[in-house]
Amino acid sequence: MAPAVVARGARRIPAGVWLGVLPAAFLLVFFAWPVIAILRRGLTGPDGGPDPLGAARILAEPGVWGIAGFTIGQALASTLLTLLAGLPVAWLLARVALPGRLVLRIAVTVPFVLPTVVVGILFRVILAPQGPLGFLGLDGTVWAILLAHVFFNIAVIARTVGSVWSTLDRRAEQAARTLGATPFQAWRTVTLPALRPAILSASAIVFLFCATSFGVVLVLGGSRYRTLETEIYLQTVQAFDLRAAAALSILQMLTIGAAILIATLARRGRRSDGQAAMASGQQARPRGAQWVPVALVLGVVAALLVAPPLLLAWTSVRRGGSFTLEGYRLLLGRGGDHEAWGAMLMSLRTATDAAVLATVLGVLAAVAITAARGRWAIAGEAALLAPLGISAVTVGFGLFITLGQLPVDLRSSPLVIPIAQALIAIPLVVRVLLPALRAVDPRLREGARVLGASPARVWASIDLPLAWRSLAVAAGFAFIVSLGEFGATSFLARAGEPTLPVLIGRLISRPGAESYSVAMAGAVALLVLTAAVIAVVEIVRVGEIGEF
């Protein structure tokens, strides 16, 4: 009797839900277990016994709170500056119909998906005393870190807030103007309250990225400015103090958790009627004096987002005041001390493997969440997006201390880096795919099932044709995020087989003009490849509506 009841209960579970077992198992082994291992390590004493207060004693040291204070302070300052620079760009994307708007979207998006180590070396080169912007005197100051964070994160504000702004009906703002409000008053009293949830959510995400910034702070901060992220890395790699690194990881998890909670609560107030509002035509071509603010915002985009990469490219072909391609020759040459060619091939291989792994698991997870109902769908989405709430360095550290305990030791496997990179890419794949799958009319799937189609046939004939753009975009983002991943990979890459971002990080710490030239050439190569993939992604998603 009981087995029949169980069987009848099991049949009520949609078939697609079971597809989530594999992604859940992957995250359980390679994410949840390493994070739990970090927590245990932080609560273990030097003798191996339990020491619940050990982490508290480590975190009570004055130096730790100084690092934590700088982490939060620079993240707050970076978030405020990013918000000030990003809101005008969000307005431009949402309200202004410009020719070549696709180019603008690419220019805004590329910095966000650049490897953090590339962003770090970019600002280190252009702000150096002998660099194009050396006259500003910002080299070695906290302003270099803040500007790099603005450059890196402005797309989060522009694309996230802009997507919501584009859905707001302009008639409410126009009614306020008719009643005598100035343009600023109409924006402050009508538009800003409607945008507040999106602004809070995007700001929390920017704070999260700035608080967990690794490559930028490591390159620009040196030994003078350190965050929790860089300190975890240094305590592990240089000091070999795993207990201190674990305690710092716990503190970082709490900080990030607070930012994630704020972002989640803020998202509850977001509008969901975007397509209907967009249909009413919210963008207008500027005329006459309206071009003035448009030109000013385009100037901000050019100065903050376009000029730095161009200056890096120019500097990479200059040495001693003369033109040279020595860095690119060494980068593309086989062999040599820098092993740059091997690092490029390693980056492409691991990024491709990680993108395939993340796309497959992300599709399974997205289908399972779409098929689920109520609390199970919410819980599944939260669990699969959890890696976004833990920094890449913490993930790499956790894998570093747990991989040797598996039945099959993966520490020397070529899959270890793709696994780490896929952990970070899977949430992005799920986030891109879920809106597209949820937008499919369930009646289409039911009709196909009534006609005898299997679940796989339903997916191939209904979901895939309607969601292929989102699938291609998800795969593209998974590839470029994996290509530039630096935090977790820096823990796991073997000395003789680094990826290109890891090699760049090593080269800029070595003395000698030759190492610096190769590092700059590698940074430009990653920049060009990233821009090319983003251009393809943006072309594919033309006509789609959704947030970044």
Contact indicator for 110, 531 with CB cutoff of 8 Å:
yes
Most confident of 107-111, 201-205, 408-412: 107-111
Q: Is the pLDDT of residue 340 over 90?
A: no
Residues of the domain holding 70: 61-279+294-322
Report yes or no on 441 lying in a domain.
no
Q: Which residues pair with 44 in a beta bridge?
A: 50
Q: Is the dihedral of CA 471, 476, 477, 481 positive or negative?
A: positive
- Give the pLDDT band (50/70/90) at residue 335: very low
- Give the pLDDT band (50/70/90) at residue 548: very low
Give the integer Cα–Cα distance in Å for 56 and 154. Answer: 36
pLDDT digits (tens, 9 = 90+) for 456-468: 777 777 777 878 8
| Residue 239 DSSP class | S
Give the integer Cα–Cα distance in Å for 215 and 99. Answer: 35
- Give the pLDDT band (50/70/90) at residue 50: low
Of 44-48, 61-65, 390-394, give the lowest mean pLDDT range. Answer: 44-48
Mean pLDDT of all residues in 384-404:
76
Residue 30 phi/psi, 5-degree rounding, is -100, 0
Give the integer Cα–Cα distance in Å for 165 and 241. Answer: 48
Q: Is the pLDDT of residue 182 over 60?
A: yes
Contact indicator for 30, 419 with CB cutoff of 8 Å:
yes
- Give the pLDDT band (50/70/90) at residue 278: very low
Backbone dihedral region for residue 543 (phi beyond 0: left; psi -120 to 50: alpha; all else: beta): left
pLDDT digits (tens, 9 = 90+) for 301-334: 999 999 999 998 898 888 777 888 888 888 877 5
Report yes or no on 267 lying in a domain.
yes
Contact indicator for 278, 545 with CB cutoff of 8 Å:
yes
What total number of domains does the chain contain?
Answer: 1
Report yes or no on 9 lying in a domain.
no
Task: Say which residue, 545 or 464, is predicted with more confidence.
Answer: 464
The pLDDT score that the predictor gives to residue 356 is 95
Task: Say which residue, 388 or 403, is predicted with more confidence.
Answer: 403
Long-range contacts of 8-17 (CB under 8 A, 24+ apart): 14/371, 14/372, 14/373, 15/371, 15/455, 16/367, 16/368, 16/370, 16/371, 16/455, 17/368, 17/371, 17/372, 17/376
Share of the chain above pLDDT 90, in %: 13
CA angle 211, 385, 115 (to 5 degrees): 50
Task: Say which residue, 280 or 176, is predicted with more confidence.
Answer: 176
Mean pLDDT of all residues in 203-224:
86
Tokens (6 digits) for 236: 């592990």
What does 478-520 look like in DSSP terms, one character per residue?
HHHHHHH--HHHHHHS-TTS--HHHHHHHHTTS-SHHHHHHHH
Contact indicator for 77, 144 with CB cutoff of 8 Å:
no
Report yes or no on 506 lying in a domain.
no
Q: Which residues pair with 322 in a beta bridge?
A: 319
The pLDDT score that the predictor gives to residue 418 is 92
Report yes or no on 484 lying in a domain.
no
Report yes or no on 538 lying in a domain.
no
Tell me the average pLDDT of the chain.
Answer: 80
Strands (E), 364-439: none
The pLDDT score that the predictor gives to residue 544 is 46
CATH number at residue 186: 1.10.3720.10
Give the integer Cα–Cα distance in Å for 121 and 218. Answer: 10
Of 49-58, 145-154, 492-501, 529-538, give the lowest mean pLDDT range. Answer: 49-58
Give the integer Cα–Cα distance in Å for 308 and 168. Answer: 33
Q: Is the pLDDT of residue 276 over 50?
A: no
Contact indicator for 55, 250 with CB cutoff of 8 Å:
yes
Mean pLDDT of all residues in 54-71:
80
Of 293-297, 303-307, 344-348, 441-445, give the lowest mean pLDDT range. Answer: 441-445
Report yes or no on 482 lying in a domain.
no
The pLDDT score that the predictor gives to residue 236 is 75
